[in-house]
């Protein structure tokens, strides 16, 4: 039986700086002060970016579907802070925040939302299909659970090629009901591939609660069926997410083993922009907002003297400016050339075969 944790209560208190050991004896969450501030800045950037995206969607600048990451910032930032630049990230359609955390620019993401030629996918992918090959951000996939076998294959390839790269695969708890999840975890442990499956349990698959969709609600328990290491972790605590991911990354890099992380979080906004919200109460949302990951982290940073009031305001202003510049960039960017309609369908276009 693979190691399986039943609880992670990691937080600043249990991994006090300078942290030598996490609460469970795992690897150290050796965040420097600068890195902590950087993480806070990234979380705030995601929050402000998404707020702006929601606003621009309402104004008609952004089309299609738009799934915001507000409330889940600690998951993406905490986990991606635990991997290297050359590691891979694959995500669902709720991926703007994860793309930002992987180092993609607000400009390229906003331009993609605007359907502009300067977008990260040249305006062909939109909100649900952000990609950046250079930065190892491999989508943006819009069929629930579809990215899970893909991430397994990315990790398989890393092992095949003998690199020590790992893949992080993000998906919501509703994806756990898809066959793709179960098929992937089985293969991952069978073939020992360095994939870290991060289930962002935000309690709702669209408007259907976990309890109404899943016969057994404990997602980390699903790992037992595949003898795969698992933990559950507080998704509102960025440091806890980082620590749990670090343990998983070590397992992946050193022993080429997969891990299932259930990260318990909450989305403060609707499923998409057209969500009526009638499946949960205002009080429930407010209860979760009391544990807003940004508020928790900033309070903790202030308490530790890492973040001053002045810096707090300064970061807020810088992030606001960054988002505004991204919007301006997106607005001023050209639409894709009509000729782009027919490019990128094939690496070797059909016509080329006839020569």
Residues in contact with other proteins by the rule CB under 8 A? 88, 90, 119-125, 129, 131-133, 138-143, 146, 148-158, 160-161, 179-180, 183-184, 186-187, 190-191, 343-348, 350-351, 353-354
**Min dist. Cβ of residue 352 to other proteins (A):** 8
Among residues 183 and 250, whose Cβ is nearest to other proteins? Answer: 183
Residue 103 CB neighbours (<10 A): 15
- Backbone φ and ψ of 286, nearest 5°: -65, -35
Q: At what angle do helices 309-332 and 33-58 cross, to 10 degrees?
A: 40
Residue 198: closest CA among 224, 180, 215, 220: 220
Among residues 85 and 354, whose Cβ is nearest to other proteins? Answer: 354
SS3 271: coil
Among residues 41 and 129, whose Cβ is nearest to other proteins? Answer: 129
Positive/negative CA dihedral, 221, 223, 229, 231: negative
**Min dist. Cβ of residue 133 to other proteins (A):** 4
Among residues 228 and 240, whose Cβ is nearest to other proteins? Answer: 228
**Min dist. Cβ of residue 38 to other proteins (A):** 26
**Min dist. Cβ of residue 166 to other proteins (A):** 12
Among residues 284 and 344, whose Cβ is nearest to other proteins? Answer: 344
Residue 151: closest CA among 227, 91, 104, 79: 91
Among residues 26 and 145, whose Cβ is nearest to other proteins? Answer: 145
Q: How is residue 62 written in tokens?
A: 């952004």
Residue 199 CB neighbours (<10 A): 28
Q: How far is CA 123 from CA 50, 95, 215, in A?
A: 18, 16, 40
Q: How many DSSP H helices and E strands does the chain contain?
A: 11, 9
Q: How is residue 180 written in tokens?
A: 């793709």
Integer-rounded Cα Rg, in Å, for the chain is 20
**Min dist. Cβ of residue 101 to other proteins (A):** 19
**Min dist. Cβ of residue 97 to other proteins (A):** 19
Among residues 28 and 143, whose Cβ is nearest to other proteins? Answer: 143
Q: How far is CA 208 from CA 3, 10, 136, in A?
A: 31, 29, 32
**Min dist. Cβ of residue 255 to other proteins (A):** 18
């Amino acid at each position: 039986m693979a190691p399986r944790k039943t609880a992670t209560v990691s937080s600043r208190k249990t991994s006090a700086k300078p942290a030598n050991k996490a609460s469970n004896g795992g690897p150290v969450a050796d965040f420097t002060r600068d890195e902590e501030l950087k993480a806070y800045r990234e979380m705030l950037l995601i929050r402000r970016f998404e707020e702006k995206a929601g606003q621009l969607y309402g104004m008609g600048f952004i089309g299609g579907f738009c799934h915001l990451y507000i409330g889940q910032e600690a998951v993406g930032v905490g986990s991606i802070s635990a991997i290297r630049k050359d590691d891979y990230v694959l995500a669902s359609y709720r991926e703007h925040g994860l793309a930002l955390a992987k180092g993609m620019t607000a400009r390229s993401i906003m331009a993609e939302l605007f359907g502009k030629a300067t977008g990260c996918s040249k305006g062909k992918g939109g909100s649900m299909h952000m990609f950046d090959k250079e930065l190892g951000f491999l989508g943006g996939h819009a069929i629930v659970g579809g990215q899970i076998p893909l991430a397994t294959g990315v990790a398989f390839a890393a092992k095949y090629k003998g690199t020590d790269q790992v893949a992080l695969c993000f998906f919501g708890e509703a994806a756990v009901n898809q066959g793709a999840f179960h098929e992937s975890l089985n293969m991952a442990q069978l073939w020992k591939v360095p994939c870290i499956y991060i289930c962002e349990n935000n309690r709702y698959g669209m408007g259907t609660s976990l309890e109404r969709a899943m016969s057994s609600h404990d997602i980390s328990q699903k790992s037992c069926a595949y003898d795969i290491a698992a933990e559950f972790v507080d998704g509102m605590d960025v440091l806890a997410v980082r620590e749990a991911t670090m343990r998983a990354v070590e397992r992946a890099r050193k022993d080429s083993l997969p891990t299932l992380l259930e990260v318990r979080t909450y989305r403060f906004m609707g499923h998409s922009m057209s969500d009526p919200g009638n499946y949960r109460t205002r009080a429930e949302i407010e209860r979760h907002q009391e544990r807003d990951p940004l508020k928790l982290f900033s309070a903790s940073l202030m308490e530790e003297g890492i973040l001053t009031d002045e810096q707090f305001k300064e970061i807020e202003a810088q992030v606001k400016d960054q988002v505004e510049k991204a919007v301006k960039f997106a607005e001023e960017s050209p639409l894709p050339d009509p000729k782009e309609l027919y490019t990128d369908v094939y690496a070797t276009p059909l016509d080329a075969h006839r020569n």
